[in-house]
């Protein structure tokens, strides 16, 4: 396009932008000549918060994120697209920039410098009126206090080798996102797949849902008839090209992505195991990049190189490249914790594809299994529907947690992660190891039908230099219940809270021996001796975090259910006689726990308070009754929980 054509194109484009729609054609031609065209790559910074205000910008194509993270806690962010403008408010107020502008999809931006902008305002009062109304609308809608994190829209999905079940994983993931959320999902297949293969996955040919999706593409690149569309009954869509994508699409891929984003919430680019120019461009432009790897010893060096190439193209960014494991190749793979070290990963990789008939035969796995794992686990993460359960402290009263779990299980409410403190840590860890309330009950309250059996099974008295109980029996109880599990063996991701008694610090336990972590969190001061674990002397996590909701929030839970045994809204009953030492200890712990629970409620979506008044800290033999209290409390709010989890 020559200079004259570019100028005419700019005039036409500006005439469609609301900010400039009131300008007469002669003035528009004059002002168009003052604009500077800028080509900006993904992750480029247009300006930083605090910079001086020297220009406004209009987006011709691509996307730009405007965000602010202020020390006092207020923040906002909004993503702008084609036809949107930004930077004008700082020019009007003559103040430094109050936000940062970062490119999130390769963009063409038109820049108008401050002098030209002021000249435009002086002769066009309608523009000033438009901006003042816009500014007022933003303030009234809370623009300056908009909270939340921008959710990724574009994902590339590739594999380190063929035959790892990539299509099975991708389509299973798309199925679960579609059926467990309201998000519209599109899978882009740059490499041609036969119709017979698509039919195997339950995908049927459909007509183009929206011809305008290709309006930004130059007509000499692709036409509407070059694209082929498939639809799955669950709701997700697949886009193919009759002859496969070619190099012509590389420079205009941002334009296609920009159009697709107007119709779909999540777009997955299936890149197989190729890594040509098109694949490299897609990886660079996508918000997240998922790679399914072969974890056999023989493939390790090749996997390393492919991850390095992905990271080089993806650029810097939190979790830009995510690694998962396929078990379809090789009879024996490398342990996941070893993979983390060998591949220098930020987290232990999950198993995305396991050896199953569905995976081996290339079919979509549509079952809603629990515990949640594989393609469904990452689907729920991407869809933003993961449910976290925080189980609070409370000694024997914590048996009521089992009743809550029973109701959730009966109503098919699937828990994606658990956090626990003290007794909540014990119940949560055993449930995470077994994945069944019946198995949990058998390994806990069923063992203690009488007070004598409870004392014999739990209490091992010692000279009270550090605590009345050594806690070795409690450790053995948990170790047996979880089958000597490491945290990686748990069926449900679980996080346990302890307190470093020497430093007065909260400690998050999520690696290593589960039983030792639980025993550490159970160490009520005076009652149980402290435990030296992970190089620290640890006691009951309830001293600082009785209901660890904040941990679930940090780990990415989208919806949080909390169970609080020490209810600060209820008054402690007065004893009929002078309290003994055990009564004093019990009430002291209850007061401490009650004080510390004050901040978790606002971070929870639903809080369950089992009625456990009148039960002592050592009523471990009353598990059946306490479990029933948990059942009753959870049933009162089960409809709210169903609405939350739907």
Question: Longest C-alpha distance within the chain, in Å?
Answer: 96
User: Pairing relation of β-strands 154-159 and 288-294?
Assistant: parallel
Residue 16: which pLDDT band, with cuts at 50, 70 and 90?
Answer: low
The β-bridge partners of 102 are: 45, 65
pLDDT average, residue stretch 473-496? 88
Integer CA distances (angstroms), 263 to 260, 267, 346, 371, 616, in order: 6, 10, 33, 33, 58
Residue 417, both tokens:
């992660």
CA–CA gap between residue 95 and residue 92 (Å, rounded): 8
The label of the residue with tokens 């809603």 reads: 368
pLDDT average, residue stretch 256-279? 89
Strands (E), 207-338: 227-231, 237-241, 266-272, 288-294, 321-326
Q: What is the structure's pLDDT at 597?
A: 54
pLDDT at 12 over 80: no
The label of the residue with tokens 């993806």 reads: 314
pLDDT average, residue stretch 502-513? 89
- pLDDT tens for residues 415-429? 999 999 989 999 999
Mean pLDDT of the chain: 83
Q: What is the structure's pLDDT at 537?
A: 83
pLDDT at 460 over 70: no
pLDDT average, residue stretch 113-132? 70
What percent of the chain stands above pLDDT 90?
A: 40
pLDDT average, residue stretch 13-20? 70
User: Pairing relation of β-strands 55-69 and 559-563?
Assistant: unpaired
pLDDT at 441 over 80: yes
Q: What is the structure's pLDDT at 22?
A: 62
pLDDT at 465 over 50: no
Least confident of 64-78, 110-124, 400-414, 594-608: 64-78
Q: What is the structure's pLDDT at 615?
A: 87
CA–CA gap between residue 588 and residue 594 (Å, rounded): 10
pLDDT at 269 over 80: yes
Q: What is the structure's pLDDT at 146?
A: 42
pLDDT at 356 over 80: yes
The β-bridge partners of 294 are: 326
Q: Nearest to residue 209, comparing CAs of 190, 187, 232, 231?
A: 231
Q: What is the structure's pLDDT at 385?
A: 94
Which of 238-252, 269-283, 311-325, 574-588 reaches the highest mean pLDDT? 269-283
- Half-sphere exposure (Cβ direction) of 349: Cα atoms closer than 13 Å: 29
Which of 129-138, 471-480, 595-604 reaches the highest mean pLDDT? 471-480
Q: What is the structure's pLDDT at 133?
A: 55
Q: What is the structure's pLDDT at 548?
A: 93
Residue 524, both tokens:
């009520």
pLDDT at 10 over 80: no
pLDDT at 586 over 70: no
Q: What is the structure's pLDDT at 7?
A: 58
Q: Nearest to residue 428, comparing CAs of 518, 512, 508, 557?
A: 518
Q: What is the structure's pLDDT at 217?
A: 80
pLDDT at 576 over 60: no
pLDDT at 406 over 70: yes
Strands (E), 30-153: 36-40, 45-47, 55-69, 75-80, 85-86, 100-113
Least confident of 5-19, 394-408, 526-540, 543-557: 5-19
Q: What is the structure's pLDDT at 140?
A: 42
Least confident of 66-80, 119-133, 348-362: 119-133
Provide the 8-state DSSP code for 20. G
pLDDT at 232 over 80: yes
Least confident of 474-478, 510-514, 568-572, 589-593: 568-572
Least confident of 271-275, 313-317, 334-338: 313-317
CA–CA gap between residue 451 and residue 30 (Å, rounded): 90
The β-bridge partners of 494 are: 418
Per the model's pLDDT, the better-predicted residue between 469 and 288 turns out to be 288
pLDDT at 204 over 90: yes
């Amino acid at each position: 396009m020559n200079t004259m054509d570019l100028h005419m194109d700019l005039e036409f484009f500006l005439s469609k932008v609301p900010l400039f729609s009131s300008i007469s054609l002669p003035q528009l031609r004059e002002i168009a000549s003052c604009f500077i065209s800028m080509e900006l790559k993904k992750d480029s910074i247009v300006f930083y918060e605090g910079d001086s205000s020297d220009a406004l910008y209009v987006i011709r194509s691509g996307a730009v994120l405007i965000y602010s993270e202020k020390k006092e806690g207020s923040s906002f962010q909004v993503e702008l697209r084609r036809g949107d403008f930004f930077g004008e408010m700082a020019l009007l107020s003559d103040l430094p920039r109050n936000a940062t502008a970062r490119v999130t999809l390769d963009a063409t931006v038109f820049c108008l410098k401050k002098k030209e902008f002021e000249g435009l305002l002086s002769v066009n009062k309608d523009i000033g009126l438009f901006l003042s109304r816009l500014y007022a609308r933003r303030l009234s809608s809370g623009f300056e206090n908009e909270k939340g994190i921008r959710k990724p829209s574009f994902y590339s999905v590739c594999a380190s080798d063929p035959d790892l079940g990539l299509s099975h994983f991708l389509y299973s993931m798309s199925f679960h996102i579609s059926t467990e959320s309201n998000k519209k999902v599109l899978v882009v297949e740059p490499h041609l797949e036969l119709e017979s293969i698509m039919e195997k996955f339950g995908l049927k040919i459909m007509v183009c849902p929206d011809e305008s999706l290709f309006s930004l593409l130059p007509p000499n690149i692709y036409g509407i008839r070059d694209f082929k569309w498939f639809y799955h009954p669950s709701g997700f869509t697949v886009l193919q090209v009759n002859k496969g994508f070619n190099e012509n699409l590389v420079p205009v891929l941002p334009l296609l992505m920009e159009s697709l984003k107007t119709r779909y919430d999540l777009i997955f680019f299936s890149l197989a195991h190729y890594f040509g120019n098109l694949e490299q461009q897609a990886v660079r432009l996508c918000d997240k990049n998922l790679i399914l790897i072969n974890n056999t010893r023989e493939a390790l060096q090749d996997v390393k190189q492919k991850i390095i190439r992905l990271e080089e193209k993806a650029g810097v960014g939190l979790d830009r490249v995510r690694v998962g494991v396929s078990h379809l190749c090789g009879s024996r793979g490398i342990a996941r914790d070893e993979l983390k070290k060998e591949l220098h990963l930020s987290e232990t990789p999950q198993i995305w594809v396991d050896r199953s008939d569905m995976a081996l035969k290339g079919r979509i796995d549509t079952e809603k299994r629990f515990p949640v794992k594989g393609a469904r686990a990452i689907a729920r993460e991407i869809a933003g529907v993961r449910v976290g359960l925080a189980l609070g402290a409370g000694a024997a009263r914590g048996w009521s947690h089992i009743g809550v779990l029973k109701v959730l299980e009966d109503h098919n409410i699937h828990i994606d992660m658990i956090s626990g403190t003290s007794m909540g840590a014990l119940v949560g860890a055993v449930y995470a190891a077994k994945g069944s309330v019946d198995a949990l009950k058998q390994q806990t309250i069923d063992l203690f039908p009488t007070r004598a059996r409870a004392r014999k099974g739990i209490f091992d008295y010692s000279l009270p230099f550090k605590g009345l109980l050594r806690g070795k029996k409690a450790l053995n109880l948990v170790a047996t219940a979880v089958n000597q599990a490491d945290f990686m063996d748990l069926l449900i991701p679980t996080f346990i809270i302890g307190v470093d008694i020497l430093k007065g610090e909260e400690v998050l336990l999520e690696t290593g021996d589960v039983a030792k972590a639980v025993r550490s969190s159970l160490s009520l001061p005076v009652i149980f001796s402290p435990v030296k674990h992970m190089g620290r002397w640890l006691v009951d996590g309830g001293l600082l975090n009785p209901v660890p909701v904040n941990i679930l929030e940090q780990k990415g839970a989208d919806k949080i259910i909390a169970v609080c045994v020490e209810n600060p809204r209820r008054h402690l009953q007065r004893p009929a006689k002078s309290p003994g030492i055990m009564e004093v200890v019990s009430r002291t712990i209850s007061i401490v726990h009650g004080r510390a629970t004050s901040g978790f409620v606002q971070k929870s979506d639903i809080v369950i308070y089992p009625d456990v008044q009148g039960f002592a800290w050592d009523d471990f033999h009353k598990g059946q009754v306490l479990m029933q209290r948990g059942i009753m409390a959870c049933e009162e709010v089960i409809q709210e929980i169903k609405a939350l989890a739907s």
